A and B are shown apart, each in its own frame.
Chain A
Amino acid sequence: MRQRAITLANALGVFAALLLVWQLVLRIFRVPPYMLPSPWAVTKTVGARFPSLVSSFLITAEEAAGGLVVSIVVGVAVALVFAQSRWVRRMLYPWTLLLQTVPIVAVAPLILMWFGAGAPSVTLIAFIISLAPIIANTTQGLISVDENLVHLFLMHNASRSQILFKLRLPNSVPSLFVGIRIASGIAVIGAITGELYAGSSRVGEGGLGYSILYASSQLQTDYLFALVAAATVLGFGFLFLVMFLEWYFLHNWHESARTPEAE
């Protein structure tokens, strides 16, 4: 508990120092506010435009979460197919690499063209960008099972589906969470990138990415800062949520999720 208080105090101290440097830079170099607004101006804007900030935040959160959840469902399903045989993996795995290497920025305009502007297209972009790490990590978890455990199951005349669902699938959960943790970060990036292209079907209303574009075109630099901060909060929020779920599901049995007290 004491340790946590000290960590928190340190973080707040660093934050205060950063604000101070920011303010000093403004004073010394006389930066115009449309280039770099003061911390106070940003805070005021957050207060004044809080409702629209929250609504942008929620739109992006929904798109990123939707993309992430669908990528988990589809990713695990694909990994279960990949786990069936080496032959299947050899044939199909290169295609997931393609998924990972194709620049989403280049694909986004296509998706916009095919599916139109708005949340469904953005969710699709978040889904595409977060799928590869889920497939890769879950497949790894499904196939790296201790050989003796497989033998143990065989000795009890276990069926193929018993081995899959009572051994391979639970064994893959820690790697699945590694995948989700990576994917949760890039799903948010994917959603914001997607919004830059396919932000909104209505002018003036949209997620964080759309609003960032809009604010920069209007030179509303203070609001732009508020939006960037909100995007950061969103990324952190996703990461913390995933880490909490990881702890919740794994702390009983897996080394990666041990609480500090237990060490």
Chain B
Amino acid sequence: MSGLAAPMIEMTDVTKRYGSARTVLDLFDLYVRKGEFVTLLGPSGCGKSTVLKLISGLTPPTTGTIRVDGMLPKNAREMTSYIFQDATLLPWRTVRQNVGLGLELEGVGKDRRGDKISSLLELVGLSEVAKAYPRQLSGGMKMRVSIARALATNPRLLLMDEPFAALDEISRDRLNEELLRLRAEQQWTAVFVTHSVSEAVFLSTRIVVLSPNPGRIHAVVPVQLRAERNPELRTAPEFDALVAQVSRTLRGALTS
């Protein structure tokens, strides 16, 4: 990939306090290059979700600076998509209308949305249920709709806040594989939040382990696994070894 060194996210000395008492993040630095898949891993209360909210500009930092592709987070929203822990679909809209929401809000005309939505539904395997309403779908399918909606606006940066936490393991594994396939096709940069060590290892190019109270970076683990990440990788010895290493680091983050 060209421009490997070009930064996508630069967070420098970022502190976030809610009110005057609780410090969520303390002097936090995060640097993500274009094309990376960075996972934030850590126990509850270490400020993982807050990092995503800061990068998206949904909440301002107390001190410190944040740049997304050189811009203020709010100005970078056009190139950023956010995937939430639950699918956050509009229940009164069909799958198709939900996928088209972002385009619609950004003022893309109805005729120009149509093809884009159809190809995305194809991509995530939802063409059959395009006219269904969210409540008729399983948890995994809802999440697929959410992913398709996020990709519809051609994001260069994808922020994902434990998107698969509520799913069973089989759906989660399948969606992990699909996510990597989509990334290979569309080449976005990702910041992903999870509790799951194996999910982090399977998806990431780099894992950032956070420690709680207040949130700080405890360790950074680069993930150097074979380029093609297929389901067989999950049973490979080097995968297990890395999962074990990251788990140890995570335990260290808790006791430090």
Contacts and interface: CB of A to CB of B under 8 A. Distances in A.
Interface of A: 146, 148-149, 151-158, 162, 166-167, 170, 173, 252-255
Contacts of B91: 253-254
Contact of A157 (B86, B105, B133): B105
23 contacts: A148-B88, A151-B58, A154-B77, A155-B56, A155-B58, A155-B77, A155-B81, A156-B101, A156-B102, A156-B106, A157-B77, A157-B78, A157-B105, A157-B106, A162-B105, A167-B90, A170-B90, A170-B92, A173-B92, A252-B133, A253-B92, A254-B92, A255-B135
B202 interface: no
A173 B82 CA distance: 27
A167 B105 CA distance: 11
A254 B133 CA distance: 10
Interface in B67-102: 77-78, 80-82, 84-86, 88, 90-92, 101-102
B61 interface: no
A139 to B, nearest CB: 19
Contact of B153 (A153, A156, A253): A156
Contacts of B215: none
Contacts of A166: 104-105
B35 interface: no
B134 interface: yes
A151 to B, nearest CB: 5
A146 B90 CA distance: 10
Contacts of A152: 82, 84, 88, 101
Contacts of A173: 92
A160 to B, nearest CB: 12
Contacts of B101: 152, 156
Contacts of A167: 90
Contacts of A148: 84-86, 88
A186 to B, nearest CB: 28
Contacts of B85: 148
Given A155-B81, A252-B133, A253-B133, A149 B88 contact: yes
A153 B101 CA distance: 9
B133 A149 contact: no
A114 B78 CA distance: 58
A253 B105 contact: no
